[in-house]
Chain A
Amino acid sequence: MAEQVLVEVGIALTALAVGGALAARANQSVIPVYILVGILVGPNPPTEVGPVSLTLVENREFIDVLAELGVVFLLFFLGLEFSLERLVEGWDRLVGIGTVDFVANFGAGVALGLAFGFSPVETLFVAGVVYISSSAVITKSLIDRGWIANPESEAILGTLVFEDILIAVYLAVLSAVALGSGGVEEAATSVAASFAFLGALTLIAWYGTEYVERLFSADSDELFMLRVVGVTTLVAGAALLAGASEAVAAFFVGTAFSSTDHVHRIEDAVSPVRDLFAAVFFLSIGLGTDVTLLPEVAGLLLAAVVVTTLTKLASGTAGGFLYGLNRRRAIRVGVGLVPRGEFSLIIAALATSVGTGALGTTIPAFAVGYVLVMSILGTVLMGYADSLTAYAGESGPSLR
């Protein structure tokens, strides 16, 4: 059995490496490619090409643990990059652009969920999936296109910062509600328990900076990496036992580090660990995707792609104007925020773990299809941003 697992993990990682190389060559984000690799080598159809079996990876337990670590470290780094400095500087604009973004896109998600007959909790999942833009895909595209040197990047990154904070709160509430078994009282208790746990973590994050600083001063990078990875995983696991979201706990552990001098060293020593686990997470999403379910969600998928592309364009453009940008740059903000990715998938993974009704079947399938379309559509649209401006009329006078 053990030899079976090892060879399957080997196949999975090699397939990821090949897929990643292809993505880099096509100048696309790796996320959709990793998912496709998972769909290909997984136990669900397509299972064979002619006589050749494509079901290469069936032992999910080990891969699922690695994938779980991927979620933990994605959120840990989100917390690590969380900078008060960005929040404080121009917080009024940030809250303005973030609120517009949330109301338009989360609202569109709620409307879609209800229109397609989902229950309130399921609707919350759908709304989260379509609301949250992908930090990973967007920052990479900003750099590739050179927009990072222009004023529109401030508005785009500002929106992402706001979304990242909101998604931590959202995940905390959602996992407490979804994992609580049924009754209102049960749900309230689990929300309270998880918030108590996260509250304690927050206090440590705020007041324990010095301790964290001292505790993690290791001479060698190896020992340093082990301490960070160990403590983060332990806290995330404890959170899960306490009924809180492991992802949110990891986010708070990250924020505890964000104001120490270790940030740069973590970037160096722990990033490779995150990249490995995150790649396996995207793969495992693909492994668990049943493409035969896609026809069932095709209507929802089509509606969501059209509606939420338009709402992101609209809210981003409005946010760009809030930042005092001219029309061309404001439209770029809207276009730049279209890609969805890792966080939508984390919400989908949470839905799978709840596994009741549509949460176990159609919503994850919808989320995967949606992310595949939006991550690619978003990066393609960025190339046409300036043609979009031409349709929207001439650019007005610039304020910057």
Chain B
Amino acid sequence: MTVYETDVPGVGRKFEYELGGEDRLVVLIHHDGKREVFRRPSADADGTKLFELSDKQAREFGTILEGAYFQPVDLDRVEVPLGESIIEWTELPEGSPLDGESLREADLRQRTGVSVMAVQRGEETLANPESDFELTAGDILVTIGTRDEQGEFDDLISG
């Protein structure tokens, strides 16, 4: 991603941020702090103004964009320390050997050492699933175990 920066005499500075291809976001920062944001979908098209923010609004809105208030869950890195054990949320990938197996068949406790505390499927969360619960790709398994056991589990589900 390239950012082009130019001076606009008497007004402020202009930044162009490549979104991919010729699509660009153009941000004009005025000396008085006002921000104007335009989008130019291609080199031949004209920029259309999306919105304008005051200095204060821009800073607050910027921190939301930065993710300072709420981070989207990055499934690979969510960890809750619990003594030696940690809790991890892991998505069952497409083509995993566990896809279509029941928890009994998967026998995760024996094979890796982790216990399945809950399964999230779409909007639903099933706590403490029964042993005949059938896993499908896309399920998010909430498992508890040591770091090593979690590693074993990761290797297993990705096949």
Interface residues of A (CB under 8 A from B): 77, 81-83, 85-86, 135-136, 139, 143, 146-151, 153-154, 157, 160-161, 164, 264, 267-268, 271, 326, 398, 400
Is B43 within 8 A of A157, CB to CB? no
Q: List 30 A-B contacts (CB under 8 A).
A: A81-B9, A81-B10, A83-B7, A135-B9, A135-B10, A139-B8, A139-B10, A139-B11, A143-B36, A146-B38, A146-B46, A146-B47, A146-B48, A148-B8, A148-B11, A148-B14, A148-B38, A148-B47, A149-B26, A149-B46, A150-B40, A151-B43, A153-B8, A157-B9, A160-B9, A264-B31, A267-B31, A267-B32, A268-B32, A398-B43
Contact for B44 among A81, A161, A398, CB less than 8 A: A398
Which partner residue on chain A sits nearest B44 by CB separation? A398
A149 to B43, CA, bound (A): 11
B59 CB within 8 Å of chain A = no
Is B9 within 8 A of A150, CB to CB? no
Chain B 1-50 residues near chain A, CB threshold 8 A: 6-11, 14, 26, 28, 31-32, 36, 38, 40, 43-44, 46-49
Within the complex, the shortest CB–CB distance from B27 to chain A, in Å, comes to 9
A146 to B37, CA, bound (A): 10
Within the complex, the shortest CB–CB distance from A224 to chain B, in Å, comes to 16
Within the complex, the shortest CB–CB distance from A158 to chain B, in Å, comes to 10
Point out the residues of chain B lying under 8 angstroms from A153, CB to CB.
8
Contact for A149 among B28, B31, B32, CB less than 8 A: B28
DSSP majority for the A interface? helix
Contact for A85 among B7, B11, B36, CB less than 8 A: B7
A153 to B12, CA, bound (A): 14
Is A77 within 8 A of B43, CB to CB? no
Point out the residues of chain A lying under 8 angstroms from B49, CB to CB.
146, 149
Within the complex, the shortest CB–CB distance from B126 to chain A, in Å, comes to 50
A161 to B11, CA, bound (A): 13
Which partner residue on chain A sits nearest B8 by CB separation? A157
Is A86 within 8 A of B40, CB to CB? no
Point out the residues of chain A lying under 8 angstroms from B11, CB to CB.
139, 143, 148
Point out the residues of chain A lying under 8 angstroms from B31, CB to CB.
264, 267-268, 271
A135 to B44, CA, bound (A): 26
A264 to B11, CA, bound (A): 11
Which partner residue on chain B sits nearest A395 by CB separation? B44
Contact A400-B43, Cβ < 8 Å, known A149-B38, A267-B31: yes
Point out the residues of chain B lying under 8 angstroms from A146, CB to CB.
38, 46-49
